[in-house]
Chains A and B, each alone.
Chain A
Amino acid sequence: MTSTTTAPVTTGAAATPTERVARLRDAAYRIRRHALDMGEVQGQGYIGQALGVADVLAVLFGDTLRLRPHDPEWPDRDRFLLSIGHYAIAAYAAFAEAGIIPTEELETYGSDDSRLPMSAMASYTPGMEISGGSLGHGLGVATGMALGLRHLGSSARIVDLLSDGELDEGSTWEAAMSCAHHGLANVLAVVDVNGLQADGPTAGVLRIDPLEDKWRAFGWAVRRVDGNDVAALVDALDELTADPTGPSVLLCDTRPGRGVPMLETREKAHFLRVEEHEWQIARDQLLTGDLRTSTPIGERSSTIQEGHDR
């Protein structure tokens, strides 16, 4: 596994919009690369989802979230909740990119005694705020964190990452109603809309459309973007986080396997099969693909900004 060194801070304050997007696209590239490496170690995993959500995580961790990577318990940190515990592979890759965990540790993913279990759990991993996985929990816990932090006078924000399949769960909508009722402007829900769930395409399992209208009817500010377009994600998040008066949701249409054509065109499945010999092909396709902007992995430092203002 290739490792990167994670210098603590790079400042992006003076970056032009183009530089900002380029920096985040590089981060997304490395998150994908980390995920492929982890997938190879395990020989399996939710690699389709990880590749699909990499751009979203790159923007959240590189731009949106106010964190101190070396102090994951910092009281004023923004809370990132991984409601979708099976996306752990992607979250660990983003944590490594952010400097929360060492990149070298990623190779322990899913192994006995690792801090990086297959399904994410708070008690195992620094920076993992909740144990997701039983879907439909994240937004409820986010509701309580938001009520609590607001009550305590904190300006920290709660960002909950959900999947579209998770919108089947009634508890998600209990929480959605509650966030709006309580006017929780410190809640940002980010939904990975990949159209896929365990038993097949979301459209056939349980129809969730009209997605934007649903959230809007529940009292949320809604933006829908191409979740694999870093510039669009940056714009949408800038807009949603500028001066929210209530809860906001960013619906991100993503393509499972994005960045690796071999996987992107493979028949879509919740649990994508990748043969042993295909991991190197995947890495090669990622390297030669169109997603990277500049410097190859191994030559760049972490992009997270220590306690940066938003």
Chain B
Amino acid sequence: MTTAAPKKLTTSAMIASFADADQRTTPAPFGHALAALAQERPEIVGLSADLAKYTDMHVFREAHPERFFQMGMAEQVLLGAAAGMAEVGLVPFASTYSVFATRRAYDFLALDIAEPGLNVNVVGGLPGLTTGYGPSHQATEDLAILRGCPNLTIVDPCDSVDIEQAVPALADHDGPTYLRLLRGSVPTVLDEYDYRFELGRAAELRTGRDVLLISTGLMTMRALQAAARLEADHVDVAVLHVPTIKPLDREAIVRAARSDRLVLTCENHTVVGGLGEAVATSLALAGVATRFGQIALPDEFLAAGALPTLHDRYGLSTDAVVARVKAELDDRAPWPADPAPASA
């Protein structure tokens, strides 16, 4: 008798949902929020570069066809034209995948949009590791690229609640923004908390005495799940959600980190140049020398595969976050990498 090998997971279609099987979700929250906002504000327009369907922009297109502009698979003119529209008084939301908005069209984002400080809202799909298609589509370094861009506001929403509330806030903000888009069936999490999205503000979603997770984007959802699981092991975990990456709410971060808790940042982005390094800089500048670590993607081009497999492998799954917190707590001794003091 032969035993069949366990069936391996397969890479799903381009946009895999990262929602758990039993999780509440909301369909296309970005598209619906933008369409609703546009009812009130005639100056809102939408553009996409042959990815309206894949960035939930199709919902806006169907609601306001006369205000949707298809720019073709041409990201440079997508962002240049969005700037031109803002120059004449419109408020554009321009969507494509994050990899194209940042890697391919950065000069246009920086010089046409950010330098003049225009109210253009760039919406990037597939941020971080939210597709199994490999480096061509995985924008694992988009925050690192964009944090260096002056004037730019950067938002990494956790769920559908964040997105629905962020869209009007981004339109109201008189300057350029970049939204890391979660699309399709997006988990709905934050309505269970006493929470409202406020541009530029971090929010403590949960208090805890032992560990502080400073998280952004979908990793806030994972941080909350990990905190609930760790509670069963009598580990008390606080979660500070930081949906705005730039400008960073340094005050809230430093205030929360100024304690003897283990501090870990959680982000759907490489260890280089994202939330973790931004928090580390804030703590160092404020003189907070607490035990600190990063939960983030490695500084590598990542593999292709099924998202659950990849999130496990690269440390973003709830299991991986729980395991990491436990390992850090078990290792309270001096850090392995800690060199002897220079003057010893």
Contacts and interface: CB of A to CB of B under 8 A. Distances in A.
A145 B88 contact: yes
A174 B80 CA distance: 10
B69 A147 contact: yes
A210 interface: no
B116 A146 contact: no
A144 B115 contact: no
Contacts of B88: 144-145, 148-149, 152, 154
Given A131-B111, A131-B115, A137-B80, A178 B74 contact: yes
Contacts of B175: none
Contacts of A256: none
A142 interface: yes
Interface string A117-146: 000001100000111001011011111111
A174 B50 CA distance: 13
Taking each of A136, A144, A181, which has the highest tally of chain B beta carbons within 10 Å of its own beta carbon? A144
A79 B88 CA distance: 10
Contacts of A175: 76-77, 80-81
Nearest to A129: B87
Interface string B69-109: 10110101101111111111110100000000000000110
Contact of A178 (B81, B89, B116): B81
B112 interface: yes
A145 B84 contact: yes
Interface size class of B (residues with CB under 8 A): 20 to 34
A134 B111 contact: yes
Contacts of A142: 84
Contact of A137 (B66, B74, B87, B111): B111
A139 B83 CA distance: 11
Interface string A165-185: 000001100110110011000
Given A171-B76, A178-B74, A144 B111 contact: no
B85 A181 contact: no
B84 A146 contact: yes
B80 A140 contact: yes
A144 B83 contact: yes
B237 interface: no
Contacts of B77: 139-140, 143, 171, 174-175, 178
A277 interface: no
Contact of A131 (B66, B76, B85, B116): B116
A188 to B, nearest CB: 15
Taking each of A136, A147, A152, which has the highest tally of chain B beta carbons within 10 Å of its own beta carbon? A147
A147 B76 contact: no
A279 B152 CA distance: 44
A171 B74 CA distance: 8
A247 to B, nearest CB: 13
B57 interface: no
A148 B90 contact: yes
Given A137-B112, A151-B90, A145 B76 contact: no
B52 interface: no
Contacts of B89: 75, 148, 152
A174 to B, nearest CB: 4
Interface string B190-233: 00000000000000000000000000000000000000000000
Nearest to B92: A144
Contacts of B85: 144-145, 147-148
A143 B112 contact: no
Contacts of B71: 178
A144 B89 CA distance: 11
Contacts of A154: 88
Contact of B76 (A151, A174, A181, A182): A174
Given A122-B116, A131-B115, A152-B88, A141 B83 contact: yes
B84 A147 contact: yes
Nearest to A154: B88
Contacts of B81: 140-141, 143-144, 147, 175, 178
Nearest to B87: A145
B90 A143 contact: no
A141 B115 contact: no
A146 B69 CA distance: 12
Given A143-B77, A147-B69, A123 B116 contact: yes
Contacts of A181: 72
A131 B74 CA distance: 21
A79 B81 CA distance: 14
B59 interface: no
A202 to B, nearest CB: 22
Contacts of B79: 140
A143 B115 CA distance: 19
Interface string B133-174: 000000000000000000000000000000000000000000
A11 to B, nearest CB: 29
A177 B72 CA distance: 9
Contacts of A148: 45, 84-85, 87-90
Contacts of B80: 137, 139-141, 143-144, 171, 175
Interface string B116-132: 10000000000000000
Given A75-B89, A144-B85, A145-B84, 19 more contacts: A123-B115, A129-B87, A137-B112, A139-B77, A140-B76, A140-B79, A140-B108, A141-B83, A143-B80, A143-B81, A144-B81, A144-B88, A147-B69, A147-B81, A148-B45, A148-B85, A174-B76, A175-B77, A178-B77
17 contacts: A123-B115, A129-B87, A130-B116, A131-B115, A137-B107, A137-B111, A137-B112, A140-B79, A140-B80, A140-B112, A141-B84, A143-B77, A144-B80, A147-B81, A148-B90, A175-B77, A175-B80
In the A-B complex, the 3 residue pairs with the smallest Cβ-Cβ separation, listed nearest first, are A144-B84, A140-B80, A144-B81
